[in-house]
Amino acid sequence: MADKNSFIQSWCTIQNNKINLNGETIFESEPTIGFADFAKAAYRNFGWSYPKFFKMDSLSKLAFIAAELLLKDETTNETETDIALVFSNKSSSMDTDVTFQESIATKENYYPSPAVFVYTLPNICMGEISIRHNLKSENSFFIFEKFNPGFLSNYTDVLLSTNRAEKVLCAWVDFYKETYRANFYLVNSTEGLEHNETTIKTLFNT
Amino acid sequence: MEAVKQELKEKIISVLNLEDVNPEDIKDTDPLFGAGLGLDSIDALELIVMLDKDYGIKLLDPKEGKAIFESIETMAKYISENRTK
């Protein structure tokens, strides 16, 4: 059992072309545009400069946007920050897996794309975030049928109470065929909303 | 040769998702990797696939790519001399 208090410092949701940060809508696009255009519009809106973003698959773009909003004041390029990543979803990397499969489906048109192939694992999105934020921390990616606040909060409390991390970025980040949802929240040991299953369910309306 | 160079610039931008780069930004002799366009090893593999798919050129030894992918100039020359489609 965890013997350290834990708190939710900040949280972010992204779905239906809308981004909420700490309960406030900070960006939204027409609901009719696809995720790729929404993600590009969000990137431009926040004035980010990270060309690698455009090479990412949809799952990584979704995770990148949410992480960028929660970690922008937490990390620097100069020093490492001990923020663990504990992510989860239902669809794994299936959206990109299907794209890759289609590129090798016929003998006549067999051109496997290396740039697509590298995203055929769900935990690659954590790698993208780790590179961007200079993190060399604990990270785990779990596949669940649905968002599992109880598991994530227990796992996070163990990481904090055993000093495996100073903070933990927790996430449900799911993308498949243009249906997507990101629930991200940053947990620390000092201040914020009480970190437990009930609070998480309330913040993310689950 | 000039047409191939222009086509290559457009293809590279599209295939490698170079969102903020325009064809006119790429000089024929600019290095594609490192200080130039800043392409990485995955981009190199993607260029090898592009040579095969669009020009019918199979690079069996990826090490050959170093000289071929030095710049638009070297790529265009190699493609003009070796293309099968």
Predicted local distance difference test score (pLDDT) of residue B8:
97
The reply to whether A2 falls in a domain is: no
The reply to whether A148 falls in a domain is: yes
| Helix residue ranges, H only, B1-85 | 2-15, 41-55, 65-68, 72-82
Residue B51 touches chain A, beta carbons under 8 Å: no
Predicted local distance difference test score (pLDDT) of residue B55:
96
For residue B68, pLDDT beyond 80: yes
The reply to whether A11 falls in a domain is: yes
In B, minimum Cα distance to A115 occurs at B42
Q: Tell if the CB–CB gap between A111 and B42 is shorter than 8 Å.
A: no
CA distance A181 to A16: 8
What is the enclosing helix (H) or strand (E) of A201? helix A197-203
Domain range for A173: 7-203
The answer to whether A75 and A133 are in contact (CB under 8 A) is: yes
Residues of A within 8 A of B54 (CB-CB) are none
Predicted local distance difference test score (pLDDT) of residue A204:
96
The reply to whether A153 falls in a domain is: yes
Residues of A within 8 A of B43 (CB-CB) are 115
CB pairs under 8 A between A and B: 27
Identify the CATH number of the domain defined by range B2-82: 1.10.1200.10
For residue B82, pLDDT beyond 60: yes
pLDDT band of B20, cuts 50, 70, 90: confident
Residue B12 touches chain A, beta carbons under 8 Å: no
Predicted local distance difference test score (pLDDT) of residue A79:
79
Best mutation target, B13, B42, B43, to test chain A (most A CBs within 10 A): B42
The reply to whether A1 falls in a domain is: no
pLDDT tens over chain A, length 206 residues: 556 799 999 999 999 999 999 999 999 999 899 999 999 999 999 999 999 999 999 999 999 999 999 999 898 777 778 999 999 999 999 999 999 999 999 998 899 999 999 999 999 999 999 999 999 999 999 999 999 999 999 999 999 999 999 999 999 999 999 999 999 999 999 999 999 999 999 999 87
Best mutation target, B37, B46, B59, to test chain A (most A CBs within 10 A): B46
Predicted local distance difference test score (pLDDT) of residue B1:
84
The closest CB to that of A114, out of B18, B19, B46, belongs to B46
Q: Tell if the CB–CB gap between A54 and B46 is shorter than 8 Å.
A: no
What is the enclosing helix (H) or strand (E) of A151? helix A149-161
Rounded to two decimals, the ipTM of the complex is 0.84
> What is the CATH number for A116?
3.40.47.10
Predicted local distance difference test score (pLDDT) of residue A3:
63
Residue A112 touches chain B, beta carbons under 8 Å: yes
Name every residue whose Cβ is closer than 8 Å to that of residue B47 and which is 6 or more positions away in sequence.
Answer: B12, B15, B16, B39, B65, B69, B75
Residue ranges per structural domain of chain B: 2-82
Residue A47 touches chain B, beta carbons under 8 Å: no
Predicted local distance difference test score (pLDDT) of residue A109:
87
The answer to whether A60 and A66 are in contact (CB under 8 A) is: no
For residues B23 and B34, which has the higher predicted lDDT (pLDDT)? B23
Number of domains in chain A: 1
CA distance A180 to A185: 17
| CA-to-CA separations, A69 to A14, A133, A171, A189, A193, in angstroms, rounded | 11, 12, 13, 20, 18
Nearest chain B Cα distance for residue A188, angstroms: 36
Residue B19 touches chain A, beta carbons under 8 Å: yes
Q: Name the DSSP letter for residue A196.
A: S
Question: A residues 113-142 near B, CB within 8 Å?
Answer: 113-115, 118
Residues of A within 8 A of B20 (CB-CB) are 51
Beta strand A167-176 with A193-194 is unpaired
Predicted local distance difference test score (pLDDT) of residue B34:
81
Query: Structure tokens of A150?
Result: 């109880």
Residue with tokens 């000093």: A163
Nearest chain B Cα distance for residue A62, angstroms: 17
